[in-house]
Amino acid sequence: MDDNKAKRRGRGRPPARSAEETAGVIVEAAITEFLTSGYAQTSVEAVARRAGISTRTLYRLVENKAALFRMAAESRIEASLASPDTAGTAQSGVEEQLAQIVLGYARLFLSEEAARTARLVMAEMDQFPEVGASYREMALKVSDTLEAHIRRLAAAGKIACPEPALAADLLRGMIIGPQRQMLLGLRPPMGAVELEAWAASCVRMFLYGRTRL
């Protein structure tokens, strides 16, 4: 009898998602909707349907579509620059530490999703200034993270770098160099393997002046 009751209880509703899990589902649904339909044609209701949640639940987390776009952008930044690989490099060598940061940066600008996002922003930022503003905020946050890391390495004496801001600017330019070609359709976005190879090459050129040791 007790076993039967336990089985009946087990066939009830699945466990409720945590707030973090719900946010993750919303972010993925939002990104899919934005990249598939464009910013103008995406609605909060459509994102809620794709996420499998009520519109009321979604509005408890974001107040409008602009906030939803910003939430999605910030989530991608955190995933790329605060991943376990990046966060756990404190005991790694300089090249390994910098390579993880650069790889996160490259993912945000050179991947398939990044290229589609950049095209969306360029196409719709005049009509929807909030899209351009969120994208600029994302770019600045990522740039600041890279510069801060170079400053820490220089302050610790791990790299000879009397001008960290200039060094970071030059490294940024090297990392995102292929982006313009991608946006013009002259080369495809980078996959995971190519991104890792590109990040490693950028770091070696930055540290040693050559891509191979």
Q: What is the DSSP string of 30-83?
A: HHHHHHHH-TTT--HHHHHHHHTS-HHHHHHH-SSHHHHHHHHHHHHHHHHHSS
pLDDT at 76: 85
Q: What average pLDDT does range 159-178 have in this prediction?
A: 94
Q: What is the DSSP string of 176-205?
A: TTTHHHHHTTSSPPB-HHHHHHHHHHHHHH
Q: What average pLDDT does range 202-213 have in this prediction?
A: 87
Q: Say which residues have a Cβ less than 8 Å from residue 121's Cβ, sequence separation at least 6.
A: 131, 132, 135
What percent of the chain stands above pLDDT 90? 63
Question: How would residue 1 be classed by pLDDT, with cut points 50, 70 and 90?
Answer: very low
pLDDT at 202: 96
Q: Which two tokens stand for residue 111?
A: 């991947």
Q: What count of other Cβ atoms lies within 10 Å of the Cβ of residue 120?
A: 20
Among residues 72, 57, 63, 74, the alpha carbon closest in space to that of 145 is found at 74
Q: How far apart are CA 111 and CA 135, in angstroms?
A: 15
Q: Is the per-residue pLDDT at 86 higher than 60?
A: no
pLDDT at 194: 97
Q: Is the per-residue pLDDT at 120 higher than 50?
A: yes
pLDDT at 22: 86
Q: In this predicted model, what pLDDT tens digit does every residue of 44-70 receive, in sequence order?
A: 999 999 999 999 999 988 999 999 999
Domains, in order of start, for the chain: 19-208 (1.10.357.10)
pLDDT at 85: 45
